[in-house]
Amino acid sequence: MKKWRFTGIVAGIGLVGIYLLNASWLAAAPVGRPNILAHRGVHQTFDRTNLKQSDCTAIRMRPPTNPFIENTMASMRASFHLGADQIELDVHPTTDGEFAVFHDWSVECRTNGKGVTRELSMKYLRTLDLGYGYTTDGGRTYPFRGKFVGQMKTLHEVLAEFPDRRFLINIKSNDPAEADQLVKYLKAKGDETGKRIGIVASDRVLDRVGALAPTTKVLSVDRTKACSFGYLAVGWSGYVPESCRHGTIGVPVNLRWAFWGWPNRFLQRMRDADAEVMVAGPLGSTSGDPGITDTVQLDAIPDRYEGSIMTDDIEKVGPAALRRWPRSPAGRSSLAVRLCLKPTDRALGTLSTFRYSVHPLKAAACTTSVICLSIFKSGRTAFHRLS
């Protein structure tokens, strides 16, 4: 009897310890607003029932709710206006040294052209009608024919049109050599990867990206899943698996509660591991959309959340997110944190104070220090020495 009582006491203490270790209320809430990632941007949604990878989605189009198609300038402009902070777009190398912004491996499904996208020239791709193949009624009518002729753009044209916006570039190929092509292309155009440009691709391609541009934010579906499953298994201990570090962890919105420490303790652990948190659509969704598509799903996300939210319906989700997490007013800074150092501090490991401000170089925020390091959400940093 005493043995079982002792065992029960030990088990109880262990459970209390696990609870306290993962108690969200014991961790500070994050500062900032979420990053709204528009998967495909504003686009024509389609029926995913029994969808295969090789199926043409243009002929599965639902009745249109907007005049845009994905990967076009007009769609991207509308996406940012509706609330997107970042847009996922697709690219293919062309035979004349460009990168075309287009989703499909070949052009037959959506356009009036023929051929594998990467085996064509940008000159030819510019002649195509990007809305040619879209139909909602099995081919009786084509509501977008003739409206998107000549609107395929290069990656550089997109980045130049939106110089202060963030993009997640989807490399469709599994060839690591394409990483070399893309990184070289971006450098030549003055659009190097960094906080503004992330890359999603296969593990083989991302390994090469990491070797060429190690500071680039990357996203791998397989690694994201491995991180999520790994954390679900061992996160109770406070340990963050190696598969998560410097990567991304995916959180299905309907399973957020299963991620140890959700929300504040979990978010703190991911920040410490340099892992981006990506809240996605519900696991087991009948729609098959990877991102959030219902504004009600936003209610599951805490008010103080600074990770990413992926949506496949920026039309509805974007405005709702903006109402809940307004962007900073014009002229205000996007400062995330200021770290102030005393003259005797010799390393960032002995920080004297932490300050938060929307005025990046306001001396009053660091009156007890001589040097201030301002770290912005964009990744930009600035040192300020007080007189």
Structure tokens at 74: 């007009």
pLDDT at 2: 67
Cis geometry, peptide bond prior to residue 263 (ω within 30 degrees of 0): yes
Tokens 């962007």, located at residue: 327
Cα distance between residue 121 and residue 96, in whole Å: 5
In the three-class reduction of DSSP (H, G, I as helix; E, B as strand; rest coil), residue 280 is classed as strand
CB 131 within 8 A of CB 144: yes
* Cβ atoms of residues 204 and 176 within 8 Å: yes
Q: How far apart are CA 224 and CA 236, in angstroms?
A: 19
DSSP for 50-115, please give it. T--TTS-SGGGBPSPSSS--TTSHHHHHHHHHHT-SEEEEEEEE-TTS-EEE-S-SBSTTTSS--S
Q: What is the pLDDT of residue 15?
A: 86
Q: Phi, psi at residue 344, to the nearest 5°?
A: -85, -10
Taken as a whole, the chain contains a residue count of: 387
Provide the residue-wise pLDDT of the chain in tens; the chain has 387 residues: 666 776 777 777 878 889 899 999 999 999 899 999 999 999 999 988 888 888 999 999 999 999 999 999 999 999 999 999 999 999 999 999 999 999 999 999 999 999 999 999 999 999 999 999 999 999 999 999 999 999 999 999 999 999 999 999 999 999 999 999 999 999 999 987 777 999 999 999 999 999 999 989 899 999 999 999 999 999 999 999 999 998 999 999 999 999 999 999 999 999 999 999 999 999 987 777 899 999 999 999 999 999 999 999 999 999 999 999 999 875 344 444 444 444 443 333 333 333 333 333 333 333 344 444 544 444 444 444 333
| pLDDT at position 360 | 37
CA-to-CA separations, 121 to 104, 116, 154, in angstroms, rounded: 15, 10, 11
